[in-house]
Structure 1
Amino acid sequence: MDHDRPVGPAGRISRVETLTLGTAWRDFSYVRVHTDEGLSGVGEITHPYRSRETCLLTEAMAERHLLGADPFDVEEIWLRMYQGDFLRGGDIGGIVVSGVDQALYDLMGKALGVPAYRLTGGACRDRVPVYANGWYTGDRKPDAFAERAKDVVGRGYTALKFDPFGAGLGELSRAERIRSLDIVAAVRDAVGDDVDLMVEGHARFNFATAARLVDDLRPFDLAWFEEPLPWTHIERYAELRARASMPISGGEHFHNRYEFKQLFATGAVDIVQPDLSMAGGFTELRKIAAIADLHAMSVAPHNSNSPLCTTASVHAVAGLTNLKILETFDGMVEDYVFDALPGVLPVVDGSVPLPTAPGIGVELADEVFAEHPPSHRFWNMFADGWEKRNRT
């Protein structure tokens, strides 16, 4: 880093710390970046299962690449973190780069006194539409799914996503396939035709099973079928798309534009789903969205993280002209999670208003973190009962 260049109004990065909050579902992890001008910026570095490793790598990469840097040099810092460690990419490294990038935009917005979205192209909408996920914890029965779906719609959501397939992997038995389709049918009947439904495949099926499911799901008029195939078979996604009546979506597994390259080259999906806390933060998300636009694809960012990532994602997508909708799990987390993240934006009638506070607008309440230490829980998505997510 060049210390002879003029320094921006945030000063230089002087300290980096990580904090983790335990919940019944998973641990939520964050990075907080301090400058010598007394400012601090926050970003989300949640990993579904590897919170300790992610926090340790964040702190190590800070020592190597962040201390003394100007937070306004986001492109240089992004490249330094991605390329400087040489063995780059992957899930943990991708999350670290993404969370730090969020914190830098938070710092820049605070230093300039403007919301972060003003630094990423401004806005082309007054509110960001969101859909609910995580609402279907509990018994895997059609009537139970239907009741929970009606409850979510009653809270103002106009779009819902769910995985009806249980612990299915590769193939589904006849009984499990029928049960899964009965769940989808029950949800559609419960919420009516005016609510968008998305079915999640969690990248779990072989081609024959996925091809049969796109036919089976045709009557339910889905907004999309998400990740029906493993990404080890990305070359077959386009073949499946040609058979499907509904759009095919995916992309949450990729951590930067380079990993997305084959998805675009093969025309794998109709709807691209980068995650702000995995795909490279603000700096990279806009590039991925621009490439998606070049391929006539819309963007529906993945967001299975905490309300902080929801608020940060609202900033990131406010100016995306090819935005479809944003995911949120905010309705399934404990109340104290919101206490730990003062400033997060509420979901109201299925959308989130444009932010007004400088930066991302969220701080971390250290005392709440102290009251709810990491749980280090693990739930196996391919085990019976995974959909309960450690809840009964």
Structure 2
Amino acid sequence: MRIKQIETIRIESQPQIIWVQIHTDTGIIGLGETFYAPQVVEAAVHDWFGPLLIGREPGAIERHWEAMFRLSDHAGYGGAEMRAISAIDMALWDIKGQAVDLPIYELLGGAVRKKIPAYVNDLPYEGAGEKARYYLDQGFTAMKGGPTIALAQATDGQSLTPKELDMALKPIRDIRDAVGMDMQIANDGHGKWTLPVAIRIAQAMEPYEIMWQEDLMPPLNPDALARLQAATKTPVCISERLLTRWQLRHFIENGSAHIVMPDLIWTGGISETHKLAILASAHQVPIAPHDATGPVNIFACAQILMNAPNGMIMEHVPSMYKGWYNEVVDPNVDIHDGFLHAPERPGIGTRLKAGLRDRSDAIV
């Protein structure tokens, strides 16, 4: 089997998403996906990495990953190159799974589970208690939101008044008043705050038994994040902003990452996320992959989480899952009763819908 063609597909209705399809001479097509600045990713796929892959055997995934990474890391790895590698890697794993008629998690060593808890990225400032009741009735037991994010704008995250901090606690109090401890709550800070403010936020939320504090600060300094973790009993979760094992390892090894949140479609695809899960497991740290992007990412994360013993929980955005995901893939992700369920189809587990590439707003 040889790689015959690599194509990228974008649609105007989802301007940050790009899909990569790798065609083989046997007719098998592998699917990958990434998010953000898709025009730049498109150039990386076609101009840089495509020539390394065309005519090659797709099953040599590790060799291809290393070849792409070495081509780009001399200028500092990351950015569009890493996103392109991620999408290509997903597509290569998809081809391998289809070729042997197995889901990818079976190729990673088999399943340790067939479902994993999913949490909802949907925590409004107003009506958070009612929203918590709604999701509990559907079987979900964890929610995430960012009530401090907007408050950082006035001072660029340099200060937070007592009144503003109390405002940020309002939706969290509403959930506790409505459903008690039945709903877990994760707080996302979007990397907006300085260390002193981050410590204040984390400590102020401690009485509410927060599931984790995610990106209260930019993950630029492992020592600063370790100081944050030392100042709070709440686990610090780090971070989709860090790419590959080489960036994340500093935060895992110094104890600042009590939960690791890789973004599979940014950090190097299935190959690298699998390695990150193993690295985290060596430090007895769980993984909770990031998602607020596209459906193929969740399928790929499901492959990792069904195989990784230290898989904790999976993020999803209900409005996207119930909305535009249904327009672009078939089947959609299987999330119900509070769990993400294992894909059962060969490869990554889904396909772009027939006709997507022929839409009037498609750019192929």
Establish whether TM, by shorter chain, passes 0.5: yes
Does residue 58 of structure 1 match 2:11?
no
Distance 1:319 1:337 in 2: 24
Question: Deviating runs (4+, > 6 A) in structure 1?
Answer: none
Q: Deviations over 1:103-159 (max 9, x none)?
A: 0110001111111111112110121221111x246xx43xx3333333333332111
Letter in 2 for 1:42: L
Distance 1:330 1:56, change over 3 A: farther
Match of 1:151 in 2: 134
Distance 2:324 2:143 in 1: 24
Q: 1:193 aligns with which of 172, 181, 191?
A: 181
Match of 2:269 in 1: 281
Contact 2:334–2:343 (8 Å) recurs in 1: no
Does residue 16 of structure 1 match 2:3?
no
Distance 1:266 1:373, change over 3 A: farther
Match of 1:378 in 2: none
Q: 2:302 aligns with which of 297, 305, 314?
A: 314
Distance 1:136 1:160, change over 3 A: closer
Match of 1:46 in 2: 35
Give the CA deviation at 1:334. Answer: 6.0
Letter in 2 for 1:156: G
Match of 2:59 in 1: 72
Q: Deviations over 1:64-105 (max 9, x none)?
A: 321112111011000011112332421211111111111011
Q: Deviations over 1:3-57 (max 9, x none)?
A: xxxxxxxx11111111123447x6322110011111100011112xx12212222
Describe how 1:79-158 pairs up with structure 2 within 5 A: 79-85=66-72, 86-133=74-121, 135-136=122-123, 140-141=125-126, 144-158=127-141
Does residue 30 of structure 1 match 2:13?
no
Q: Which has the larger strand fraction? A: 2
Identity %: 27
- SS of 1:245's equivalent? coil
Comparing 122-131 with 366-375, greater Cα deviation is found at: 366-375
Distance 2:253 2:142 in 1: 29
Give the CA deviation at 1:373. Answer: 3.3
Match of 1:290 in 2: 278
Distance 2:362 2:228 in 1: 40
Distance 2:115 2:167 in 1: 37
- SS of 1:130's equivalent? strand
Distance 1:194 1:371 in 2: 44
Contact 1:31–1:44 (8 Å) recurs in 2: yes
- SS of 1:269's equivalent? coil
Q: What RMSD, in angstroms, separates the aligned Cα atoms of the two structures?
A: 2.1
Letter in 1 for 2:133: K
Distance 1:58 1:124 in 2: 34
Contact 2:2–2:24 (8 Å) recurs in 1: yes
Match of 1:387 in 2: none
Distance 2:12 2:134 in 1: 26
Contact 2:120–2:317 (8 Å) recurs in 1: yes
Q: 2:344 aligns with which of 325, 338, 356?
A: 356
- SS of 2:344's equivalent? coil
Contact 1:336–1:368 (8 Å) recurs in 2: no
Give the CA deviation at 1:313. Answer: 0.8
Contact 1:30–1:45 (8 Å) recurs in 2: yes
Contact 1:254–1:260 (8 Å) recurs in 2: yes
Letter in 1 for 2:62: E
Letter in 1 for 2:259: I
Match of 1:165 in 2: 148
Distance 1:191 1:99, change over 3 A: farther
Match of 1:227 in 2: 215
Distance 1:190 1:57, change over 3 A: farther
Distance 2:139 2:360 in 1: 30
Distance 1:315 1:212 in 2: 37
Contact 2:123–2:143 (8 Å) recurs in 1: no
Q: Which has the larger helix fraction? A: 2
Distance 1:191 1:306, change over 3 A: farther
Q: How many residues end up aligned between the 2 structures?
A: 357
Letter in 2 for 1:40: I
Give the CA deviation at 1:345. Answer: 2.4
Q: 1:208 aligns with which of 177, 183, 196?
A: 196
Distance 1:373 1:281, change over 3 A: same
Comparing 224-233 with 76-85, greater Cα deviation is found at: 224-233
Distance 1:353 1:46 in 2: 23
Q: Deviations over 1:202-246 (max 9, x none)?
A: 111111111111210011111111111112233111111112121
Distance 1:66 1:175 in 2: 57
Letter in 1 for 2:310: N
